[in-house]
Amino acid sequence: MTGTVLFCATVDYHFKAFHLPYFKWFKEQGWNVHTAAKGSMQLPFADQQFDIGIERSPFRSGNLKACRELGRIIDENEYNIIHCHTPMGGVLARLAARKWRKKGTAVIYTAHGFHFCQGAPLKNWLLYYPIEKGLSFLTDCLITINQEDFELAKGFRRMMRTEKIHGIGVDTGRFHPVDEEEKRRLRTKYDLNQDDFVLIYPAELNINKNQALLIEAAALLKDRMPNMRLVFAGKGQMEEEYRRLAEQKRAASHITFAGFQKDIHEWIKLADVSVASSRREGLGMNLLEGMAAGKPAVATDNRGHREVIKDGVNGFLIPQGDAQTFSERLLQLYHSDRLQKQMGEEGRKTAAVYSQQRTVKEMAGIYSSFMKKQAAERRLEG
């Protein structure tokens, strides 16, 4: 059976960052691949791309226009499978596809981390939980990437298929350990000192990622770890506030705001420890990428980080808001090359479980089941 699949998300960069291996898989099956998202980035393996004005905020009126436009695209192309991602991409695509789902189009939604979760604000539960539960009636398969979300999703609707996969896949060919010579070369390339103890956090600078906690920890460590270098690789609306905080804490000389980095794999390879301070996380891909490169992980305790970090084995889990414990765990690693190596080796074992090769295989199984079902239904109709 050949057909056409539509991938939908809020912004097109989401596809480039996470989904090109799945586009490639569909092309290998002889299928056409279409995308719908905000942006005009040229994507490999995509036969047709639709630039539509999806907004991240559910309260923006532009989403009404985007939903109508998405409905027109679906009407014109009669997709066999629609796979939607991101909160608003998932909402609009499922609403727009409801007519075609009744005609046999399979609608799949991957939740990369529900906004409602253990410890989330009450307003998140009041707003987002009813929406997701209601949209479950327009969903054939809901895919989750952590156990907490999986258990929640199973309670939405008994007849809805619910799956859990191992994230979106770590490219272990891109993220892998390097020897000391390569590490020195990369540090020279990016103007870092060879003896720096580098902590890397590739993430958008926003409130949820909570880089303020890491700045607090850096301030506690600046005298006890004089060669510490905390690298924030990313941009975001909180950048200026975080820069001011670093100055106020007198830790600015130990912190690098590197901005968005196209070759983030090189930054991770040159680092000593992967860190993450987010309040809410679906899984924690930056930690897994660091683990694949042999780096121990130190991160705040949330559902996504708990999924990949075994405390004291491949890294450390830190209570939310606890800069003191965060600094103590980093100091523990700083003073022990043996512990760094041991945790790095355990992290590589973890990353292998979440490899891109495995997740493509898991998704191929889900896609193939819908392909076979649709092919069988066509034979019966014929």
Distances in Å between the Cα of 322 and the Cα atoms of 217, 315, 340 are 9, 16, 22
pLDDT digits (tens, 9 = 90+) for 292-303: 999 999 999 999
What is the reported pLDDT for 118? 77
What is the reported pLDDT for 120? 75
What is the reported pLDDT for 382? 64
pLDDT digits (tens, 9 = 90+) for 139-193: 999 999 999 999 999 989 878 999 999 998 999 999 999 999 999 999 999 999 9
What is the reported pLDDT for 172? 93
Does 4-169+356-381 match 180-353 in CATH topology? yes
Token duo for residue 345: 């080796």
Tell whether the model's pLDDT for residue 128 goes beyond 90: no
H or E, element range at 176: none
Token duo for residue 77: 């192309």
What is the reported pLDDT for 279? 94
pLDDT digits (tens, 9 = 90+) for 225-254: 999 999 999 999 999 999 999 999 999 999
What is the reported pLDDT for 17? 86
Beta partners for residue 275, in sequence order = 298
Beta partners for residue 81, in sequence order = 5, 106
Token duo for residue 258: 């590197």
H or E, element range at 232: strand 228-233
The DSSP code sequence of 145-164 is: SSHHHHHHHHTT-TTSEEEE
Instruction: Give the alpha-carbon dihedral of 108, 364, 283, 19, to 10 degrees.
Output: -80
Task: Determine the Cα–Cα distance for residues 346 and 349; give it in Å rounded to an integer.
Answer: 5
Find how far residue 261's CA is from the centre of its chain.
16
Q: Which fold has domain 4-169+356-381?
A: Rossmann fold (3.40.50)
Average pLDDT score over the chain: 94
pTM, 2 dp: 0.89
Could you give the percent of the chain with pLDDT greater than 70? 99
Task: Name the nearest CA neighbour of 78 among 101, 46, 109, 112.
Answer: 101
Tell whether the model's pLDDT for residue 126 goes beyond 90: no
Taking the alpha carbons at both ends of the chain, their separation in whole angstroms is 14
Could you give the percent of the chain with pLDDT greater than 90? 87
**Domain ranges across the chain:** 4-169+356-381, 180-353
Strands (E), 52-153: 81-85, 106-111, 141-144
pLDDT digits (tens, 9 = 90+) for 84-125: 999 999 999 999 999 999 999 999 999 998 888 777 788 888
Tell whether the model's pLDDT for residue 222 goes beyond 90: yes
Task: Determine the Cα–Cα distance for residues 371 and 324; give it in Å rounded to an integer.
Answer: 52
Under the banding of pLDDT at 50, 70 and 90, the label for residue 74 is very high
| CATH assignment of 180-353, among 3.40.50.2300, 3.30.70.1520, 3.40.50.2000, 3.40.50.300 | 3.40.50.2000
What is the reported pLDDT for 125? 85
Q: Which amino acid is at 144?
A: T
Under the banding of pLDDT at 50, 70 and 90, the label for residue 22 is very high
CB–CB of 80/3 below 8 Å? yes
